[in-house]
Chain A
Amino acid sequence: MSDVETGKFDVCIIGTGMAGMASALYAANRGLSTVQVGSAGEIMFASGLLDLLGVHPVEEKRAINRPWEGINELRKDMPNHPYARIKEQDIRAAFDEFLSFLQDASLPYQRRNERNCQVITSLGTLKTTYCVPKTMWNGVDALETKKPCLLVDIRGFKGFSAGQMAAALQDVWPDLRTARISFPETEHMSEVYAEQMARALDSPQNRAKLIEMLKPHVKDVQTVGMPTIFGVSRTHEVVSDLNKGLGVTVFEIPTLPPSVSGVRLKEAFEERIPDKGVRLLPREKVLKVHHGTDGYFTLGIGQETTDRTLKARGIILASGRFLGKGLQADREHIRETIFDLPVTQPPDRTQWHRKNFLDPSGHPINRAGLEIDDSFRPLDSSGRPAFKWLFAAGSILAHQDWMRMKCGSGLALATGFAAVQSFVRLFR
C-alpha cells in the first residue's frame, strides 16, 4: 500500500484548477491515497459560477434552459465532446458530491436541478449558468420576477458601475436603481479592492457599518445587488446580517477576475482538501516524470529545480490549457507540457483563430487538446492509451469549447469524476 512518508501514492493529481480540485476530492472520497501538485493560482480566475451547459450550438448562439436535455442533444451533435463519454447519472453525481463538499466548507451553492439560471454581470450582460454561490441566488430570483432593485457600487472600486448595469439592462429589468457608497473605513483610500472589502465583511462590526451606509439608499426596493464582496469565509452570516439589517434581500453580482468567488474556492479547497487526506503541494510544478518498471510513475516536483520525488501508481492530468500551462504553443505547434502527449490541433496557426474575436462559432484552437479513450486515458500517436494509469480531465481535453459553450465547471467536475472512477475500476 502507498504511504505518505515514503512519498508513494495511489494517485497524483496534476493541476490545482477546478478539474484538479474536483479530481482530488473524488479520489480522496474513494479512499485513494492522493497527492495533488499544481502551481496554484488558476482557480483564482474562476468566476465562481458553475456552468453545466449554457449555449449549444454555439454558432446559433442558442441559450440552453434545460441543460440535461441540452447535454443529450450534444451527445448526438458532438460525439467527441467529453460529455458524450459520461453517463448523465455520473455528471449529476459529480455535481452532488462537489456541492456537498462546498456546503461542508461553508461555501454553499444553489441551483434548480433541471433548469439553468441567469445572473446579471458587472458588465450589464446576462449570464446563463447552472449553479451559483448562494450569495448570488437572490439575484437570480429577483431578475426572474423583475423585482424593484437597487444596484450599489462603491467609490474607488474600478470596473463596476451600477449606472452601467442599469443602463445596459434597462430593457430586461426596467426597475433598476443605483447608488454609490463609500465602503466603511475606506474613506481615506483612493482605490478599494474586492478581496479587501470581502475580508472586512467577515467581521460583524464592519457589516453593521455597511448596513448603516446602505440604509438611506434602500427605499421602495425589494432587493439590493452589490459586487461580490460578501465575506470570504463567512458569506452565509454576511448575507443573513445584511438581509436582516436592511429589511430586503441582498445579492452579489459577479465581477472581473480574479474575483472573490475565486478566492473563496481556493481557500475552501486549500483548507479542507488536506482534511480529506489529500497531500496538497500547491505552488509546485511537476518538472519531470518517468514511468518505471515497478509500475509506478516517478515525479520530480519543485519550483525551478526538483526539490522532491514522488511515486504514484496513477496520474490524473488536469493541468489545464494555456493559462494553466498544461498546453504551450510556439509559432508552429501546440504541445502538451508534461508528457508531450499528442495534441489534436488545427493544421497550422492560420487556422487557430477566426477573423473576429467575438465570432460566435468560437476559435478552432479552443477545441484543440488531448484525445482520450472511454476511460479518460489520453492516447498516444498510435491511438492507444499512452499509459495504462494515466488519465486526463478538464479543459485540456479536445473537442470542447468551454468558454463559448459555457460548460467549464461541468466539464471539470464530470471529467474529473469519470477519470477517478476509471482509475478506481482499474485499481481494485
Chain B
Amino acid sequence: MKTSVLIIGGGATGTGLARDLALRGVQSILVEKGDLNAGASGANHGLLHSGGRYVASDPETAKECREEGEILKQVASNCIENTGGLFVAVAGDDEKYVADFPVLCSRCGIPAHELDPKEALELEPTLSRQVITAYAVEDAFIDPFKLSMENMDQALSLGGSLLCHTKVVGFECSNRRIQSVHLKNTRTGETIIVEAEQVVNATGAWAGEVAALAGISIDLLYSKGSLLITDSRIATRVVNRLRPSSDADILVPGGTVSLLGTTSIRIESLDDIRPTIAEMDHIIDQAAEVIPVLKDTRYIRAYSGVRPLVASQSAGDDRSVSRSFALLDHARDGLENFATITGGKLSTYRYMAEKTADLVCARMGVSKPCVTRTEPLPSSETSRWTEPGLAPKEWIKRGAPEDLILCECEMVPKSVIDRIVTSIRDQGDRADLRGIGLRSRIGKGTCQGAFCGIRITAHLYDKGDLQADEGLVGLRTFLNERWKGVRPILWDGSLIQEELQEAMHCGLFGLEL
C-alpha cells in the first residue's frame, strides 16, 4: 500500500489531521489499533473550554482554548451544544484565587461576567447555597465521538482511508527516513505494509510506545483522569469550581446526562486503565460541595482516560505540567519524514491538526493553506447517532412501526443499527457490539447493555453478520468492557440493576461458564 501521509491514531487529532490534509488535497491513510476515539478522545468531559480553567496555570493554553472555542462554535456547530458555563466558588474556597480570576481572564481575552450568587442560583438551582462568587463564561459541550467521526467521514469522502483494529508493529528506516510501516490487523492477524511519504504519530498517551518502535524516545507523563456519568442531566450549563485546578472540578451537561470529573493520577503503565472506587467516592464528595444533589444522584457509569503530558522534566503536580500540545519534528532525531503530535486538549484538536498538517505539507512541498478554520464540518450519516434523543426522534418522525426498537433505554431502532453496521462494513471493518456502541447510544442507558446487548446480538445473527459462537464471544467482551465502568458505582439503584443483569446473564444464560 502506498500513501502520501500515514496517520497513526484515530482520536480527535488523528481524524482532524486526516480531514485537514484531505481538504488540502493530500491523500492519507489513518491506522487505529482499536476503534475511533478508543483513547482519551473518547474518555473526557466533552468540554469545549472557555479557557477559564487555565488562566492561572497555563495562559497560553487558556488563549488557545478561547480562540478554538470561537472557531469550533462556527464550523462544528452540529457537534456542539452551546450551554454556556459558570465558575463558582463556595465558602472556604481560596479567596485569593477567586479575587485574581477576573483579572487573569481579561489578560487572556476570556469573557467572564460576574454574577450575583443569587443570580447564579436562579440560573442553576442545584448549586449549593454556599456559593459566594460566580462568573458566567463561554463553555460548551462538544460530542467527541461525533466530532471524530465527522472529521473521518469527510476525509474518507475526499479519498482518505481508514484501517481500524490495525496496529503498527514496526518501522523500516533507512537514509534518515521511514521507508515503510508494518501493520497488523488485530482481528485477522493479517500483515500490511504501507509506504508513506510522511508518517505522523498521533497516538496520544501511546505516542512514546509508537515512537519507540522507530527508535525514538519521547518523555511522556501519564495522568489518568476518571469521570462519572449521571443518569439525568443535573444542570443546564457547565459548572466549574472556581479554585486552582483540582479533582472533581467540572460538571458538563451532555444531552440527557451530565459528566462529572475528573481526577488526576500519575500512572506508570497504559495497561488496564479503569476507574477505581476510591476515585469515585472522592469525586462525589468533592463535587457535592458545589452541587449537593450529586451525593444522592444515580450514576450509570464511570470511565477513565489518560492525558499524555509532555514532560518538561519538572517534578510536582501533574496539573502544573502544561496542557498545551507538543508537535515533535523527528528530523532532529534522525527521521526526516516522521513527526509526533501529542498532549493538548480536545478543545484545541483542530489547531493541533492544523499545525501538524502545516509541517507535513511544508515537507512535501504542498503549499495549499489550512481551511479548517472557516470550512464547516459537514454532518455525516454515520456519525449522527451518538446524539442522545436523535434516534427516537427520527424513529417517531419516520413512523415505520416495523422498525423495532432494539435498545429500549435509549430507543435505538433496528434501522439505525443496520445503517451503522453498513457504514462500518463500508469502512472495511466488521461490526460488533463495541463498534456499534461507539457510534450510537446502545449500552449507554440504564440497562448498560444487559438487554440491548442480547437483542442486537440476535439481530446480527439474523442478518447473517455473525457465525458460530461469535455473537456470544462478542457479548462477553462487551459485558466485561461495560463492567469496567459499572463496577465502581454499584450501590443502591445501580446495584439492583446489576443483580438483575447477573441473574440473567449468569443465572439463566450461564455466560460465565
A357 neighbours in B (Cβ, 8 Å): 479-480, 482-483, 486-487, 502, 505
The verdict on A323 contacting B404 (CB below 8 Å), with A125-B511, A127-B509, A358-B506 known, is: no
Would B402 and A190 count as touching, CB distance under 8 A? Answer: yes
How far apart are the CA atoms of A168 and B467 in the complex, in Å? 8
Main secondary structure of the interface of B (DSSP, over half): helix
- Mark interface residues in A312-338 (1 if CB within 8 Å of B CB, else 0): 000000000111010011110000000
* A355 sits at the interface (CB 8 A): yes
* A4 sits at the interface (CB 8 A): no
* B461 sits at the interface (CB 8 A): yes
- The A-contacting residues of B in range 257-295, CB under 8 angstroms, are 276-278, 281, 284
* Least CB distance, A46 to chain B, in whole angstroms: 9
How far apart are the CA atoms of A356 and B272 in the complex, in Å? 12
The verdict on A330 contacting B506 (CB below 8 Å), with A161-B462, A360-B513 known, is: no
Would B468 and A170 count as touching, CB distance under 8 A? Answer: yes
Would B492 and A360 count as touching, CB distance under 8 A? Answer: no
| Contact among B277, B464, B506, B510 with A349 in the assembled complex (CB-CB below 8 Å) | B277
Would B513 and A61 count as touching, CB distance under 8 A? Answer: yes
* Least CB distance, A231 to chain B, in whole angstroms: 21
Would A124 and B469 count as touching, CB distance under 8 A? Answer: yes
The verdict on A321 contacting B404 (CB below 8 Å), with A159-B451, A159-B455, A164-B466 known, is: no
How far apart are the CA atoms of A90 and B276 in the complex, in Å? 45
- Mark interface residues in B441-464 (1 if CB within 8 Å of A CB, else 0): 000000000010011011101101
Would A403 and B506 count as touching, CB distance under 8 A? Answer: yes
B506 neighbours in A (Cβ, 8 Å): 358, 403-404
| Contact among A49, A330, A350, A406 with B492 in the assembled complex (CB-CB below 8 Å) | A330
Which of A156, A168, A360 gathers most chain B CB within 10 Å? A168
Would B508 and A254 count as touching, CB distance under 8 A? Answer: yes
The verdict on A164 contacting B457 (CB below 8 Å), with A124-B472, A190-B401, A330-B492 known, is: yes
* B172 sits at the interface (CB 8 A): no
* Least CB distance, B335 to chain A, in whole angstroms: 40
The verdict on A323 contacting B458 (CB below 8 Å), with A254-B508, A331-B491 known, is: no
A170 neighbours in B (Cβ, 8 Å): 468
A121 neighbours in B (Cβ, 8 Å): 508-510
Would A125 and B509 count as touching, CB distance under 8 A? Answer: yes
Q: How many A-B residue pairs have CB under 8 A?
A: 146
- The B-contacting residues of A in range 109-160, CB under 8 angstroms, are 121-128, 156, 158-160
B509 neighbours in A (Cβ, 8 Å): 121, 123, 125, 127
Residue of A nearest to B486 (CB): A357
* A375 sits at the interface (CB 8 A): no
How far apart are the CA atoms of A23 and B499 in the complex, in Å? 23
The verdict on A159 contacting B503 (CB below 8 Å), with A356-B483, A358-B476 known, is: no
* B496 sits at the interface (CB 8 A): yes
Would B500 and A45 count as touching, CB distance under 8 A? Answer: yes
Would A328 and B492 count as touching, CB distance under 8 A? Answer: yes
* A167 sits at the interface (CB 8 A): yes
Interface size class of A (residues with CB under 8 A): 35 or more
How far apart are the CA atoms of A99 and B419 in the complex, in Å? 49
* B119 sits at the interface (CB 8 A): no
| Contact among A47, A158, A163, A190 with B507 in the assembled complex (CB-CB below 8 Å) | A47
* B437 sits at the interface (CB 8 A): no
| Contact among B402, B479, B504 with A358 in the assembled complex (CB-CB below 8 Å) | B479
How far apart are the CA atoms of A321 and B497 in the complex, in Å? 12
Residue of B nearest to A121 (CB): B509
A349 neighbours in B (Cβ, 8 Å): 277, 490-491
* Least CB distance, A395 to chain B, in whole angstroms: 10
Would A161 and B459 count as touching, CB distance under 8 A? Answer: yes
| Contact among A124, A189, A404 with B512 in the assembled complex (CB-CB below 8 Å) | A404
* A402 sits at the interface (CB 8 A): yes
* A79 sits at the interface (CB 8 A): no
- The B-contacting residues of A in range 322-373, CB under 8 angstroms, are 322-323, 325, 328-331, 349-350, 352-353, 355-360, 362-363, 366
- The A-contacting residues of B in range 315-342, CB under 8 angstroms, are none
A323 neighbours in B (Cβ, 8 Å): 496, 499-500, 503
* Least CB distance, B359 to chain A, in whole angstroms: 42
Would B472 and A125 count as touching, CB distance under 8 A? Answer: yes
Which of B464, B507, B511 gathers most chain A CB within 10 Å? B507
Would B461 and A167 count as touching, CB distance under 8 A? Answer: yes
* Least CB distance, A61 to chain B, in whole angstroms: 5
Would A161 and B458 count as touching, CB distance under 8 A? Answer: yes
How far apart are the CA atoms of A191 and B458 in the complex, in Å? 15
* Least CB distance, B469 to chain A, in whole angstroms: 5
The verdict on A350 contacting B466 (CB below 8 Å), with A125-B509, A164-B461, A357-B479 known, is: no
* Least CB distance, B503 to chain A, in whole angstroms: 6
B467 neighbours in A (Cβ, 8 Å): 167
How far apart are the CA atoms of A356 and B480 in the complex, in Å? 6
A168 neighbours in B (Cβ, 8 Å): 468-469, 471-472
* B403 sits at the interface (CB 8 A): yes
Which of B405, B480, B503 gathers most chain A CB within 10 Å? B503
Residue of B nearest to A257 (CB): B504
* Least CB distance, A331 to chain B, in whole angstroms: 5
Residue of A nearest to B487 (CB): A353
* B89 sits at the interface (CB 8 A): no
B458 neighbours in A (Cβ, 8 Å): 122, 158-161, 164
* Least CB distance, B326 to chain A, in whole angstroms: 34
How far apart are the CA atoms of A160 and B281 in the complex, in Å? 40
Residue of B nearest to A58 (CB): B512
B461 neighbours in A (Cβ, 8 Å): 161, 163-164, 167
* Least CB distance, B334 to chain A, in whole angstroms: 42
With A123-B511, A124-B471 already in contact, 7 other A-B pairs whose C-beta atoms are closer than 8 Å: A121-B508, A123-B509, A190-B401, A329-B491, A331-B491, A357-B482, A403-B503
The 9 A-B residue pairs with the shortest CB-CB distance in the complex, in nearest-first order: A164-B461, A357-B483, A161-B458, A190-B401, A403-B507, A358-B512, A159-B455, A329-B491, A190-B402
CB pairs A–B below 8 angstroms (24 shown)? A45-B500, A49-B508, A121-B510, A123-B454, A125-B509, A126-B510, A158-B458, A161-B459, A164-B461, A190-B401, A256-B504, A257-B504, A323-B499, A325-B496, A330-B492, A331-B281, A350-B277, A356-B483, A357-B482, A357-B502, A357-B505, A358-B506, A363-B502, A408-B507
Q: B-contacting residues of A (Cβ < 8 Å)?
A: 45, 47, 49, 55, 61, 63, 121-128, 156, 158-161, 163-164, 167-168, 170, 189-191, 254, 256-257, 321-323, 325, 328-331, 349-350, 352-353, 355-360, 362-363, 366, 402-404, 406, 408
